[in-house]
Each structure stands twice: as structure tokens, then as C-alpha cells.
Structure 1
Amino acid sequence: MQGTVHGVLAVLMVLLATQASLAQAEFTVLDEAQDASSPASSPAPASPADPASPPPICGTKPINIARMGWSSAAIMAEIHARVLAKAFDCKVQVVPGDLATTGSSMGSTGQPAVAPEMWVTRISDVWNGAVKAQMVRPAATTYTEQVFEGWYVPSYVAATHPDVVSGVALQTVLPEIAGGQKVQLISCPVDWGCNIINQNLVHSLKIDELVDIVAPANRFAMDSLIAEAVSKREPFLLYYWQPNAVLAQFNFAQIDLGPYDEDAFKCLAQSNCADPQPSSFGPESVMIALAEWVFTDAPKVAAYFTRASLPTSEMSALLMALNAPGASVETVADQFVAERADIWSAWTGQGGE
């Protein structure tokens, strides 16, 4: 009997201990729930999102600048790379390029981002396709002038016979400046299209009997003829284009060939032009081309390029500097950035320095 009582008491003690444990567990759960609902233990409300930081001035994509194979375009690429780094702290890479390949790449991938000297009429199909696809667009003209070819006369001739700069006066002036002898017209090589234009211009101005057209064998011979004639201070006319070191090295005055007439000029460019009529050389579209993303991703950089047109006379001076002993495209660009803030600071929109 006594054993039975002890057994019952043992069972009761176990039950009481179990209930106490369950009660403690319940209180613990309630306490945790209360703690979770109390203001002191509630997580801090989410703070409003920080305002988005402004996009970087140089955008979020690489700014690659195409350096074409001819000197003026190479100089412009190096100049823009330096100015963007100096004025905007942009990381810029100069990459090799050419008209067709660069135009196609910009139109399909948006790289390179910049082509500083894009002769768009030379690759019109590629260019027009890229513009239509909204992958590229012009920011500004590369040069402030759009007519790059013309006839010139040495300044020492123009100083004594100022009427020579008028094409319509050549019939009267040419016999005077050469003592009745024929005046040399240094044209371009015979296999260049400009040689046909020059021949037809001579016919249109009715000076066939007054000039002797000289078609040099190549560009080197052309420049040598010009230098030799200048050194002897001979009276002569010449065809040339700009920008070019020759026009900066020697002092020439441009001859006014009259207004540009599109139909007349088309005829001048044909070897069988039946009735040549005077016209100045036609304009050509030379653009600073930007990938479309530059306008949206780096608008300040895009704005820079919309202001970055350069006078052809300034580029001619840079090309002349490139001919100096030891000069390179890079050293010419360095010198321009160091000395010509009067020009490039206007491109940045920051005024003169």
C-alpha cells in the first residue's frame, strides 16, 4: 500500500513539473511576441532611398576616339583626348580607324564613340544607314569652313595686282603679272579628279591662252614645284586644298571663282563637259561624328563636341608644325593644348583660361 502511494506521488510530481515547463515555454513565446510588437524592438522603418547620384560627366561607357590615317584627323583625335582628360577628367582611349570601318562600327556597336574628322560624303551609304538606325549623329562640322579646295596666288603677286584674286578679272590681270608670258597653273596630278576640274575651269574663265597647266606626277612633285616657284618669286597660280601645311608655310591669297553652282560644277568634273561654266569648288560635309549614346549618357561631353569646330587655317598651322624636325602627332597635340586654351576652352564651355 505504501509503495502504491509513493508511486502515485511520483506520477503527480512528474505531471506538475511538465505543466510548469509548458507554462514557462508559453510565457517565453508570449514575451518574444510582445518584444517583437513593442516599438523599442521593432525594426527601424526603411529610410527613403538615397537620391540617385548624377551620372558621371564622361558617361558609363568607354570614350574611344578614332584616329584616322591622315595627319589632320590624327591630330584632332589626340587633341580631343587631351582636352577631355584635362577639362572633364575623362579616361579616353585613342584607337586606329578609317572612314568605312569606323563608320560601320559606330553604326553597329556605338564604338568608337567619336570620329573627329568624318568625311561623310565619302561613305554616304554607311553614314546614312547609321544615322537612320539612330546609332550615330553629327555633333558639329570638324572645320568652320566647308569648302576645302580652290585656286590660290602668292601674296607677293596679290600685293602688286590685287585684282588677280577675282576670277573674272584673270583675263585682264594675267598678261600684266607675267609680262605677256603664260602664267603657270600648278594643278594636281593627272590621275586625280581635280585635274579635270582645273582644265574645265580654265576653259570656263576663257584663259586658255594665258596659262600653262602643269600636272605634276605626284603630291611630292606638286609641293616641290610650288616651293621652287615661291623661292624664285615667280608669278603663278595653283590649285590646292586645305587644311594643309603648304598653305600655312607659304603666304597665299585665294582666288574668288564665283558662287558655287551645283549643275555647273557637275559638268566641270566631267572630261566631256560640253559647255564649262565658272563655279567655285563645292562644299563637303566633314563632321565630328558621335555615337548616339554619348548624347544621352554623357551630355556634357556631347556638348563639348558641338562647339569643337576648328578653323582650317589653325589646322594648316598644326600640319606645318608637324613637319618640324622631331615633331609627332602627339607633340603637336601637346603643344596645342598647352598654348591654345584661347581656342579649346571655348569648346569646353568654360571660357578662356
Structure 2
Amino acid sequence: MRKILASTGFALGAALATPALAAEDCGNITIAEMNWASAGLAAWVDKIILEEGYGCKVELVAGDTMPTFTSMNEKAEPDMAPEMWVNAVKEPLDQAVAEGRLVIASQILTDGGVEGIWIPTWLAQEHGITTLKQALERPDLFPGAEDPAKGAFFGCPSGWACQHIARNQYLGAGADDKGFELVDPGSAAGLDGSIARAFNRNEGWFGYYWAPTAILGKYDMTRLDLEAEFDREHWDNCIVSADCLDPKVTEWPTSDVFTTVTKEFADKAGVAMDYVQTRAWTNDTVNKMLSWMGDNQASNEDGAYEFLMTHEDLWTQWVPADVAEKVKAAL
């Protein structure tokens, strides 16, 4: 990620030294509101700050990693994806940046995203399971498959970029031959519901998950050791592909989570681009916000306002003082 950032030619921190421009200088912005909680929260934080602080007119549009990347790359719309997990699109993203269609504006998660295969911590401790191989030896501990004689391995929801990755890790581990069934949860809600149900029933759960998320803030989960090094060539040429014929288990790379914008937006955005380059937060901050949102059944918009009201010490570092005052006056 740091290498890609260097290629953009933008200096992080510019917003701190750049005065706010007049409202008409910001213009119209389209932002992808991705269909997972942390990205939705980020989109709304951006919307509120850009509208209230800079006078921009922001339209949020529904998004997901692959469709949004493709649309930005081919059609230059929407203008911005605040939280793009790029492990599954690294090569085409590198190409799009090199060819001047897209720009990596910032690393929104400063400590990167976390992906892996998880089980409940209580079960890991009770049965001494710390590795993927050990979990695969006990299909009886992981109910939830359509075939009750098999254990359930919950994959990534259909249509998500991580779907092929989780499937190939499952196949590479030989889970089919070890008495498991790959379960498609159907959606993020379905995946979250399967974890909540397992904890409520004091049952085992086994599968793909990631952070930052409210679920990992609420439920104590252990990320299993895959006992495999990260293999970049195999990852890029097989693991991320729907057509991988001979997958082998490989550790997840540190998940780069970027704010990606179109070149057209970067060239015209001015002060809005200064803000986007500067704002960033940690997994811990986002996990706490997502936990609050889950406990309060809050929307992305609700979460954004709560963040702005309770984390003033953080977000005011992203903008000039006069912009911060405008945002605070609007809360």
C-alpha cells in the first residue's frame, strides 16, 4: 500500500495547511456507500464533513468491492470509494493507478484490515485448537451444514470479492475430504447471524471473517494459524480467482484498505481531495463505533454523527480549524 501511495504524488497531511475554499469550489461528489458497516460509516462521515465543512454536495450510491472498482475503472464513477479492500483486485488496481485512471488517496485503516479463518475462543481453549489443521480434524464440533453428518465451514457471502478467496482456502485445505461442507451465508447479515446463533446456542462456528467489525467486538473469536506462509504469486494467480484449479492454503496478506478515487476527481476536487488524503482511523476506533451501532440498532448515518460528537479529538485533526467549527455547529 505504501508503494502505491508513493506513486500518487500526493502529500498526506495537506488538509492541515490548506484553507477552506468557497462552497462553489467543492462541487458535486458521488461516494460509494459499500454494503458493510465500516465502509458505510466511513461514507457517512465523509458526507457530513464534506457537506457541512466544505459546502460540497454529496450523493451516496450503493457499492460493493468488485462492482464499484469496475465502474470507477471503466466509467470514472462514482468519484470515491472510502473503504476499498483491495486484496482481490490488487493487480487491476495497480494497473489502473499506473495508467492514470484511479488514484490511491489514503490508507483509511492505518493498521490495515484483518482477514482469516476463525473459531470461538471458548471452543479453541476447551479443545486445544489453534490451527486450521486441528479444526479440520473435528467436523463434529461445527454444526450448521445442510448435511447433519458434516461440519460447516462458513465462507464469504456470494458476490463479495472474498468469496473466491475463502472457497479456494477451503478447497486447498482439503476440507471436503475431511467431512466439511462449504456454507454460503448469502449476505453479511447471514454470516453475522450464523455467528450470533452459534454463541447463543453455545455451539462451535468455523469460517471466514474479518475486522474491523461489530461482531469481533461483541464475540470473542480466535484467528486460526494456517501454518502457511503468504505466497504472493499463488495468491495473485490462483487464490483470488474463480478458476483456480489447484489451490493451496496460503496466509492472508495484510489487508490493504484504501480510499480510492478517480483521476478526474483527484484533478478537480481541490480541498475535498486534501481532506480525503488526510483522514484515517484505526481498527480499534472503528470496532468501538460498530459495536455502538450494533447495540443501538443505529444506521450508518447515526453512527457517523455519534463518531463526530464523541471523537472530536480525532476528526478535527483531519481538517482546518474553520472547517471543524462549521462541522461542530451542524451536529
Give TM-score scaled by structure 2 length: 0.64
1:326 CA drift (Å): 5.6
Going from structure 1 to structure 2, the CA distance change for 1:328 and 1:270 (only over 3 Å counts) comes to closer
Alpha-carbon displacement from aligned partner over 1:295-343 (angstroms, at most 9, x marks no partner): 7777665444333233345434444444456622211100011112343
Alpha-carbon displacement from aligned partner over 1:193-250 (angstroms, at most 9, x marks no partner): 24532422432xx8954x6335146235544332222123234422223444333332
Of the three residues 172, 188, 206, the one matched with 1:237 is 206
> Separation in 1 of the partners of 2:244 and 2:260?
36
Match for residue 262 of structure 1? 232
> Separation in 1 of the partners of 2:76 and 2:89?
16
One-letter code aligned to 1:237: F
Is residue 11 of structure 2 the alignment partner of residue 57 of structure 1?
A: no
Match for residue 79 of structure 1? 45
1:95 CA drift (Å): 0.9
> Structure 2: 5+ residue runs without aligned partners?
1-16, 142-148
Residue 153 of structure 1 contacts residue 165 of structure 1 at CA under 8 Å; is this kept in 2? Answer: no
Going from structure 1 to structure 2, the CA distance change for 1:56 and 1:291 (only over 3 Å counts) comes to farther
SS in 1 for 2:258: strand
SS in 2 for 1:347: coil
Of the three residues 92, 95, 113, the one matched with 2:59 is 95
Going from structure 1 to structure 2, the CA distance change for 1:238 and 1:94 (only over 3 Å counts) comes to same
One-letter code aligned to 1:67: A
Residue 143 of structure 1 contacts residue 310 of structure 1 at CA under 8 Å; is this kept in 2? Answer: yes
> Separation in 1 of the partners of 2:186 and 2:264?
42
User: Higher mean Cα deviation, 212-221 or 250-259?
Assistant: 212-221
Match for residue 155 of structure 2? 188
Q: Which has the higher contact order (CA 8 A, sep 6+)?
A: 2
Of the three residues 113, 123, 126, the one matched with 1:157 is 123
1:154 CA drift (Å): 1.2
> Separation in 1 of the partners of 2:121 and 2:89?
33
Match for residue 116 of structure 1? 82
Going from structure 1 to structure 2, the CA distance change for 1:84 and 1:221 (only over 3 Å counts) comes to closer
> Separation in 2 of the partners of 1:291 and 1:184?
44
Match for residue 180 of structure 2? 212
Alpha-carbon displacement from aligned partner over 1:147-197 (angstroms, at most 9, x marks no partner): 553101212234456x633446x27x966x95xxx9944322796424532
1:294 CA drift (Å): 7.2
> Separation in 1 of the partners of 2:297 and 2:167?
38
Match for residue 140 of structure 1? 106
Going from structure 1 to structure 2, the CA distance change for 1:158 and 1:58 (only over 3 Å counts) comes to farther
User: Higher mean Cα deviation, 59-68 or 151-160?
Assistant: 59-68
Residues 183-332 of structure 1 correspond to what in structure 2 (within 5 A)? 184-188=151-155, 192-194=163-165, 196-203=167-174, 209=178, 212-216=180-184, 218-219=186-187, 220-257=189-226, 258-265=228-235, 266-268=237-239, 273-274=245-246, 276-282=247-253, 285-290=256-261, 301-324=272-295, 327-332=298-303
SS in 2 for 1:164: coil
Going from structure 1 to structure 2, the CA distance change for 1:237 and 1:342 (only over 3 Å counts) comes to farther
> Separation in 2 of the partners of 1:185 and 1:140?
38
Going from structure 1 to structure 2, the CA distance change for 1:285 and 1:189 (only over 3 Å counts) comes to closer
Going from structure 1 to structure 2, the CA distance change for 1:300 and 1:189 (only over 3 Å counts) comes to closer
Alpha-carbon displacement from aligned partner over 1:70-122 (angstroms, at most 9, x marks no partner): 24333212212334567xx3113221334144455548xxx84x431345665
SS in 2 for 1:68: strand
1:261 CA drift (Å): 1.0
% same residue: 17
Give TM-score scaled by structure 1 length: 0.61
Match for residue 338 of structure 1? 309
> Separation in 2 of the partners of 1:183 and 1:195?
18
Residue 104 of structure 2 contacts residue 261 of structure 2 at CA under 8 Å; is this kept in 1? Answer: yes
SS in 1 for 2:173: helix
1:253 CA drift (Å): 2.0
Alpha-carbon displacement from aligned partner over 1:273-308 (angstroms, at most 9, x marks no partner): 44x533123455542134558777776654443332
Residue 113 of structure 2 contacts residue 212 of structure 2 at CA under 8 Å; is this kept in 1? Answer: no
Match for residue 29 of structure 1? none
User: Higher mean Cα deviation, 238-247 or 295-304?
Assistant: 295-304
> Separation in 2 of the partners of 1:281 and 1:346?
32
> Separation in 2 of the partners of 1:214 and 1:125?
28
> Structure 1: 5+ residue runs without aligned partners?
1-53
